[in-house]
Chains A and B, each alone.
Chain A
Amino acid sequence: MRSHIHERILLYKIQQGDTESFGVIYDFYHEKIYRYVFLKLPTQEDAEDVTADTFLRIWQYLQSKNRVKNIQALLYQTARNLIVDFYRKRGGKVESVDEQEIVVADRSDLTLEEKMNLKTDMARAERAIRQLKDIYRDVIILHFLNDVPLKDVALLIEKSSGATRVILHRALKALRDIMESETVGV
């Protein structure tokens, strides 16, 4: 979002029923929300469904004229709630996860070998992230993949800034241990 004021104007317009403004919100956030849910759900189709549902719920919420200060926080909270509902319907965590074909933007700048290596590295990173516990996964995805500042991550996970920094540090350590153990195994 260009600025906080720009976002406030968009939110106001959306609450007046302006669909184009909602389209702007979708354009800016949908990839980030997709990335967030993709790494927390079993399949690409599930991620697509939850992403679409998230935006539909946001629209409905905004139409009921609820006061919204932070659309980013609302989007992530809604996505998280939908993920909880998803697993609740399945009676708990899905144990085995098929490795998903990650859609990578066409990298015509890379050679075929470089593309293969990139896919392998990405698959390894994805496997490692999926093995983290939920809160560690959240901070890693939000901060390192979706560029959410730490103070906003703290709001999203409902912890203090200090506690969030500690969690981030532990998450990185857990991730390092998983990746190193995989490398040794190879």
Chain B
Amino acid sequence: MRNSEVIKKVGLLKAIKPQASWSSQTRSLLLSQIVAQGVSSTKRAPLLGATRAYGFTAIAEAYAATIGVLVSRPRNAFFTTAAAFGLAVFAVVVAQSSLPGQPLYQVKQTSEDIQVALTPPADRSALELSLIDRRIKELEAVSAEEGTAKDPAIVDALVQDVSKKFESVEKNLTASRVKEDPKKAVGIASLVKEKSQDYRRVLAEKVVSPAAMDDARIETISNAVRAADKANSKALEVLVDKGASVGVSETELAAHLTETIEHTESLAKDLRQTVKMAGLVSDDQKQETLKKSQDAQVALDEAKKLIEQKDYKIALLKVTEGKELVDGARRELAASVGDTKQEGVSPEEGDNASSTSSEMKIKLVF
């Protein structure tokens, strides 16, 4: 074998590349981590696996030096300001590990708000997604294992914060921004899908507890799930529309669509079972719900065929149609459940009916 042949064969390995979605995600995460590093912490960055201890040490040393100067030199405005700044920075650094309800949590939130404000709009979504990740971890930390929140007000505040951030990210995935930088948009979209799934999981497993849920809380959780779903749908649109042009493989696109189909089918199946067990719903409503569920399944089956034919854009339309039918049916059913103040119902029957209707409403949220 000649050297030229060896070089030619080895040259084939130039095709080794990272997956496009990984490249975009890592780029977005790197830039958001770098922005967030403006206030360092000693925590290991979970996704990038690099310690940021050096940042904390540098700030602590700066603080010590500032205080040392203040003590040794005659006071003046400059050193007083420097010491105050040093204290503030030190407080912000320590605040990063605080949880809702703890004294320094407000400092943490303020520093995050500043970060967001100082971040150029084009990079804001990546930062907001990393903050969503933080909120999700905090939600897990403040919710007890049984799913009963230690302080419902704190949990609700966290849930609302995440919902707002998902709404903001979803709004930022505008047509013009996607057109401007499709690679970044696809990276953000992949992260949105991942985080919205994490959020739903934490809400379902850690936050929701039938014993602690009144209508107002159910509404809060419902809005939260809706915000995550909307962001998820938008992300899927971006992935299907722009993914191929930035190197996302057909296999990945098909996988994203199939995942949504399977999730929607599972919701439709739950819906059919819930309707059968629902003693509090009229027959007309039951029929209507079952019909919508069946129509949704037809649309999803068509979507599966289109995916096999690699017609991803039309498949997405069918998936969206199916999803909207199921979501609409679930909302209507949830709205029709619940008014248990019927004439001739005894207080005990009313209580039992009320808890049953709450359980059903919770089921219809997820």
Report B-chain residues with C-beta under 8 Å of the C-beta of A30. 18, 23, 26-27
Residue-by-residue, is B12-41 near A (CB-CB < 8 Å gives 1, otherwise 0)? 111111110011001101110111000000
**Contact assessment for A31 and B31 in the assembled complex, using a CB-CB cutoff below 8 Å:** no
Contact stretch, chosen from A54-62, A66-74, A150-158: A54-62
Partner of B17, one of A23, A35, A125: A35
Contact stretch, chosen from B3-11, B64-72, B216-224: B3-11
Which A residues from 4 to 44 make CB contacts under 8 A with B? 19, 22-23, 26-27, 30-31, 34-35, 38-39
Given A26-B30, A145-B13, A105:B3 Cβ within 8 A: no
**Contact assessment for B50 and A103 in the assembled complex, using a CB-CB cutoff below 8 Å:** no
**Contact assessment for B15 and A31 in the assembled complex, using a CB-CB cutoff below 8 Å:** no
Q: Is B77 an interface residue (CB 8 A)?
A: no
Q: Is B277 an interface residue (CB 8 A)?
A: no
**Contact assessment for B15 and A55 in the assembled complex, using a CB-CB cutoff below 8 Å:** no
Report B-chain residues with C-beta under 8 Å of the C-beta of A31. 17-18, 23
Tell me how many residue pairs across A and B have CB atoms closer than 8 Å.
Answer: 111
Which A residues from 138 to 186 make CB contacts under 8 A with B? 140, 144-145, 172, 175-176, 179-180, 183
Q: Is B247 an interface residue (CB 8 A)?
A: yes
- The complex places the Cα of A183 from the Cα of B249 at a distance, in Å, of 32
**Contact assessment for B22 and A125 in the assembled complex, using a CB-CB cutoff below 8 Å:** no
- The complex places the Cα of A32 from the Cα of B103 at a distance, in Å, of 47
Q: How many residues of B contact A (CB 8 A)?
A: 35
Given A30-B26, A56-B50, A59-B34, A180:B1 Cβ within 8 A: yes
Report A-chain residues with C-beta under 8 Å of the C-beta of B48. 52-53, 56
Partner of B18, one of A103, A121, A125, A180: A103
Q: Is B91 an interface residue (CB 8 A)?
A: no
Partner of B12, one of A19, A51, A121: A121
Q: Is B138 an interface residue (CB 8 A)?
A: no
- The complex places the Cα of A147 from the Cα of B157 at a distance, in Å, of 53
Q: Is A84 an interface residue (CB 8 A)?
A: no
Q: Is B45 an interface residue (CB 8 A)?
A: yes
- The complex places the Cα of A164 from the Cα of B363 at a distance, in Å, of 68
- The complex places the Cα of A19 from the Cα of B37 at a distance, in Å, of 12
- The complex places the Cα of A52 from the Cα of B3 at a distance, in Å, of 34
Q: Is B54 an interface residue (CB 8 A)?
A: yes
Residue-by-residue, is B201-231 near A (CB-CB < 8 Å gives 1, otherwise 0)? 0000000000000000000000000000000
Max count, chain A CB within 10 A of own CB: residue among B7, B35, B50, B250: B50
Report B-chain residues with C-beta under 8 Å of the C-beta of A172. 3, 6-7
- The complex places the Cα of A176 from the Cα of B1 at a distance, in Å, of 7
**Smallest Cβ-Cβ distance to A55: which chain B residue:** B30
- The complex places the Cα of A126 from the Cα of B249 at a distance, in Å, of 22
Partner of B34, one of A19, A102, A180: A19
Report A-chain residues with C-beta under 8 Å of the C-beta of B50. 53, 56-57, 60
Partner of B7, one of A53, A103, A122, A144: A144
Q: Is B74 an interface residue (CB 8 A)?
A: no
Given A106-B250, A126-B13, A19:B123 Cβ within 8 A: yes
Given A19-B123, A52-B48, A52-B49, A129:B13 Cβ within 8 A: yes
- The complex places the Cα of A34 from the Cα of B50 at a distance, in Å, of 17
**Contact assessment for A102 and B16 in the assembled complex, using a CB-CB cutoff below 8 Å:** yes
**Contact assessment for B26 and A52 in the assembled complex, using a CB-CB cutoff below 8 Å:** yes
- The complex places the Cα of A49 from the Cα of B344 at a distance, in Å, of 66
Report B-chain residues with C-beta under 8 Å of the C-beta of A128. 10
Report A-chain residues with C-beta under 8 Å of the C-beta of B27. 23, 26-27, 30
Report B-chain residues with C-beta under 8 Å of the C-beta of A48. 18, 22, 26
Q: Is A1 an interface residue (CB 8 A)?
A: no
**Contact assessment for B10 and A125 in the assembled complex, using a CB-CB cutoff below 8 Å:** yes
**Contact assessment for B22 and A102 in the assembled complex, using a CB-CB cutoff below 8 Å:** no
- The complex places the Cα of A125 from the Cα of B22 at a distance, in Å, of 24
Report A-chain residues with C-beta under 8 Å of the C-beta of B6. 172, 175-176, 179
Q: B36 CB to closest chain A CB, in angstroms?
A: 11
**Contact assessment for A52 and B30 in the assembled complex, using a CB-CB cutoff below 8 Å:** yes
**Contact assessment for B54 and A51 in the assembled complex, using a CB-CB cutoff below 8 Å:** no
Partner of B31, one of A19, A35, A183: A19
Q: B42 CB to closest chain A CB, in angstroms?
A: 14
**Contact assessment for A145 and B17 in the assembled complex, using a CB-CB cutoff below 8 Å:** no
Given A34-B18, A106-B249, A56:B45 Cβ within 8 A: yes
Report B-chain residues with C-beta under 8 Å of the C-beta of A118. 12
| Contact sample, A vs B, 22 pairs, CB 8 Å cutoff | A19-B31, A22-B31, A27-B27, A30-B27, A31-B23, A48-B26, A52-B47, A52-B49, A56-B30, A56-B34, A56-B45, A60-B50, A60-B54, A103-B16, A103-B17, A103-B18, A104-B15, A106-B250, A118-B12, A145-B10, A145-B14, A179-B6
What 4 additional pairs, Cβ within 8 angstroms, besides A19-B34, A122-B12?
A106-B247, A125-B10, A145-B10, A176-B6
Q: Which residues of B contact A (CB under 8 A)?
A: 1, 3, 6-7, 9-19, 22-23, 26-27, 29-31, 33-35, 45, 47-50, 54, 123, 247, 249-250
